[in-house]
Structure formats: C-alpha cells, structure tokens
Amino acid sequence: MIGKANGAISITGIGAYAPEHVITNDELSQMMDTSDEWIVERTGIRERRVAADDQALSDLALPAARDALEQAGLDAGTVDLVIVATVTPDMAFPSAGAIIADELGAPDAAAYDLSAGCTGFMYAVAQGYGMVAAGLSRHALVVGGDVLSRILDWSDRGTAVLFGDGAGAVVLERVSEGGFLGFELGADGSGGPQLYLPAGGSRTPASAESVAERKHYVQMNGREVFKFATRVLVTSAEKVLAECGKSIDDVDVYIPHQANVRIIDHAAEKLGIPKEKIVVNVERYGNTSSGSIPLALADAQVEGRLQEGSLVLMTGMGAGLTWGSGLIEWTTNGRK
C-alpha cells in the first residue's frame, strides 16, 4: 500500500516509557554462552530494559500516553481513538487499547490493538492518520510498545540478547499545513516462519506439551531476517520518498527501526544518508519491537532534532514479515 497524504495531519505530542530495570550484556553473559564483545560487535546493543514482574504492556504504555497527551495539551476525555500496536498485549482480550482508554479516562474512544510485529507502530500511525483524515477522529492516540521479555527464551542466545521492553505514544491531530506527506506499508506472509511465536493461538493452543516444547517463545531465523531487513528498509524508504516527490537529500531526520546497528548502517549506506541525520538508541534499549520508533522519536525530540519544518522519515520492519514507512514534515502549527 502506498499513498500521498491528502490532509494536513501531524504528531502534536510524544511520550515514551521504558522500565527501570537494566540488563547489561555482561549480566546476560552470566546467564548464557555469549559475551559483551559479541553482542556489541554484531548488534551495537549494550543494554536493554526489562519490565518488573507486575508490569504488563498497559503499565508501560500508560505513562507514555499520559506524557504524549500532556505535550499535546489535551485532556484524555477528548481522545476519540486509541490504537495500540503490540504483539504482547496484557492478554489476548480484552485489548490493551480498551484497558488503556479506560485507565486514561477516554470513555468515548474507539480502542483496539493492531498486530504487525515490529512494524506495528508505523501501521498504527498510518491507520490513525486515515481515521483523522476521514473525519472519524479528531484526537487520535497511537501507542507502540512491547514486553518481549515475557516471550523470550532466556536460554536462546540467538534471540534473548536482541530484545528489550518499552513503549511510546503519539497524538495525531489536524494542523494547518505540513504534517504527514505519505506512507508505504507492506507484508510478505510467506516469510512468516522466519520470525514467529508458534503456540498460544488457535492453531496450537497452550497445552502442557506446547509449554514443554518451548513453543511459547519467539523463534527466529536471524540471518534471513537480517537480509529481509536490510532490503526493505531501503526499498520502503525509496518508495515513500518517490511517491511524495522528495529525495533522500531532503530528509533531515531518519528514524529506522532500532533492531541492530549493522542493519541501520547497511540501510543508511545504501540510501546515502549521512550518520548525523540518523537517530540511533538501540545501544540503550535493544530492539523494543513496536516501541522502537516512538522511543527513538522521543529521544530525537529531547535532543532538539524535531524542528518546525524538519522532514522526518520513519521506517519499520518486522514479523509478518511486514514493513512500513511514513514521511512527515514536522509541525504542530495551527492545530484544529
């Protein structure tokens, strides 16, 4: 799916939250056969955050959502749409969206979850955009977050060292001009088995056997996902830029999914975008799945990199296999 935006809609508030508990590479190397040297060299990750035992996805998302609303200057009661991109909701149902809308105090909001792996946030932003553009929503809250620590096999060094927990949120509203210029989203279901959670759904419901066979943990073919990631980060970005009549030189800030520094470097080189325009925080958080792009957006804002008129390119990729880009001319002017 690709399209140019047909209404001025922008991000008017950003919030992010990562749990307090830090796990360093050295700590991991006491739990499994790995090392700080291997993890840093192959991924760039130095540490990740892990949720406390009593924290579920909604507990990570709520502080992020409250901060995003405060920044946008909105009362939670005016939010009419809550979309939560996640693969680790509090439970299968009710949705984390409904739980979060209730806790926030947004009784008039439509609220639901969206599953698109690590691309979830980009899918959810595009969907929120569409709802606001169509006039169905005035104040949309889009959350991206995951608690992947709950579905990692902590004895599998091929996955456990890569991921972390975290969440971010943005508010989408109409503005006078600028805002999102376009989106490009896609999915290749044939690649699904490269990154999946085998059990717990209707195909293989939870049983003593599925637990014993460790089928409730993330399974991944790292090399195949690496090839896919480096390819789609480039093609998706190129497509959305071309659709919007922009070139890579026009981009001021590039926010790729924070999976692995090597993947980011590879994409940046192919795209021809200089390092100083790229937002990278994977060394502190690992791959937080749907939380990755909003956490990076929040960091970019704190660093003063999101200026009025800045052209910001965001691209996600992940389970599905899915990918998605959004291009936005940063503005909060003329909110309606």
Q: Exposed, middle or buried by CB within 10 Å (0-12, 13-18, 19+), for 153?
A: middle
Determine whether 257 is an active site residue.
Answer: yes
Among 93, 203, 223, 304, binds ligand UT7 (CB under 6 A): 223
Residue 165 φ/ψ, nearest 5 degrees = -105, 145
SS3 (DSSP) at 225? helix
Among 23, 46, 222, 266, binds ligand UT7 (CB under 6 A): 222
Among 260, 301, 322, 332, binds ligand UT7 (CB under 6 A): 260
Residues forming a β-bridge with 140? 81, 172
Give me the least distance between CB of 43 and ligand UT7, in Å please: 5
**Which residue among 139, 244, 257, 281 is the active-site one?**
257
Region from 13-21, 39-47, 147-155, 268-276 binding ligand UT7, contact rule CB under 6 A: 39-47
Region from 141-149, 215-223, 266-274, 297-305 binding ligand UT7, contact rule CB under 6 A: 215-223
CA atoms within 13 A on the CB side of 27: 11
Q: Whole-angstrom Cα distance, residue 243 to residue 253?
A: 18
Query: Binding of ligand UT7 at residue 259 (CB under 6 A)?
Result: yes
Strand order in the sheet with 2-4: 2-4, 179-187, 322-329, 311-318, 253-256
Contacts of 272 (CB under 8 A, 6+ apart): 248
Query: Binding of ligand UT7 at residue 315 (CB under 6 A)?
Result: no
**Which residue among 25, 118, 244, 260 is the active-site one?**
118
Among 12, 25, 34, 149, binds ligand UT7 (CB under 6 A): 34
| Residues assigned a catalytic role | 118, 257, 287
Q: Can you give the binding site for ligand UT7, defined by CB under 6 A?
A: 34, 38-39, 42-43, 118, 157-158, 161, 220, 222-223, 225-226, 229, 259-260, 287, 318
